[in-house]
Structure 1
Amino acid sequence: MVEYWQELLIFLGGLWAGTINTVVGSGTLVTFPILVALGITPVNAVVSNAMGLVAGGFSGAWGYRREALQVKRTLLKLVPLSLIGGLIGSLLLLNLPESVFGVVAPILLAAALVLVIFQPRLSAWAKSRQAARGGTDPDAADQAKIPLVLYILVFLIGVYGGYFTAAQGVLLMAVFGVFLQASLQQSNAIKVILSLLVNLIAAAMYLIIAPERIHWIVVLLIAVGSLIGGFIGAKVGRKLSPFWLRVVIVALGLVALGNMGYKLVNGG
Structure 2
Amino acid sequence: MTFAEAVAVAAAGFAAGGVNTIVGSGSLITFPTLLAVGYAPVVANVSNGVGLVLGGISGAVGYRRELCGQWRRVGFLAIGTTFGALLGGILLLELPQSVFDAIVPVLILIAAVLMAVKRTPDAHADSERNGAGLTASFATGIYGGYFGAAQGIILMSLLRFCYPDELQRLNAVKIVLTAVANGVSALLFILVADVAWEAAGLIALGSILGAQVAAKYGRKVPSEVLRWIVVIGATFVAVILFAT
Q: Name the TM-score class by shorter chain.
A: over 0.9
Alignment map for 1:60-99 (pairs within 5 Å): 60-99=59-98
The two structures, once aligned, show a CA RMSD in angstroms of: 1.5
User: Which residue does 2:218 correspond to in 1?
Assistant: 237
User: Which residue does 1:10 correspond to in 2?
Assistant: 9
User: Which residue does 1:49 correspond to in 2?
Assistant: 48
TM-score by length of 1: 0.87
**Partner AA of 2:64 in structure 1:** R
SS in 2 for 1:239: coil
SS in 2 for 1:145: helix
- Whole-angstrom CA distance in 1 between matches of 2:141 and 2:173: 13
User: Which residue does 1:30 correspond to in 2?
Assistant: 29
- Whole-angstrom CA distance in 2 between matches of 1:169 and 1:258: 17
Deviation at 1:43, TM superposition (A): 2.2
Could you report, residue by residue, the CA deviation over 1:46-74 in whole angstroms, capped at 9, with x for unpaired residues?
11111000111111111112221221221
Tell me, yes or no, if the aligned pair for 1:23 and 1:236 is still in contact at 8 Å. Answer: no
Residue 200 of structure 1: which of 142, 159, 183 is its match? 183
Tell me, yes or no, if the aligned pair for 2:112 and 2:232 is still in contact at 8 Å. Answer: no
Deviation at 1:7, TM superposition (A): 1.0
**Partner AA of 1:107 in structure 2:** V
Could you report, residue by residue, the CA deviation over 1:138-190 in whole angstroms, capped at 9, with x for unpaired residues?
xx6xx552253332122110000011211011011101112212111110110
User: Which residue does 2:171 correspond to in 1?
Assistant: 188
SS in 1 for 2:128: coil
Tell me, yes or no, if the aligned pair for 1:86 and 1:199 is still in contact at 8 Å. Answer: yes
- Whole-angstrom CA distance in 2 between matches of 1:36 and 1:155: 30
SS in 2 for 1:70: coil
- Whole-angstrom CA distance in 2 between matches of 1:37 and 1:256: 19
- Whole-angstrom CA distance in 1 between matches of 2:176 and 2:146: 18
- Whole-angstrom CA distance in 2 between matches of 1:40 and 1:252: 27
TM-score by length of 2: 0.95
Stretches of structure 1 lacking an aligned partner (at least 5 in a row): 134-139, 264-268
Choose 1 or 2 for highest CA Rg. 1
User: Which residue does 1:226 correspond to in 2?
Assistant: 207
User: Which residue does 1:174 correspond to in 2?
Assistant: 157
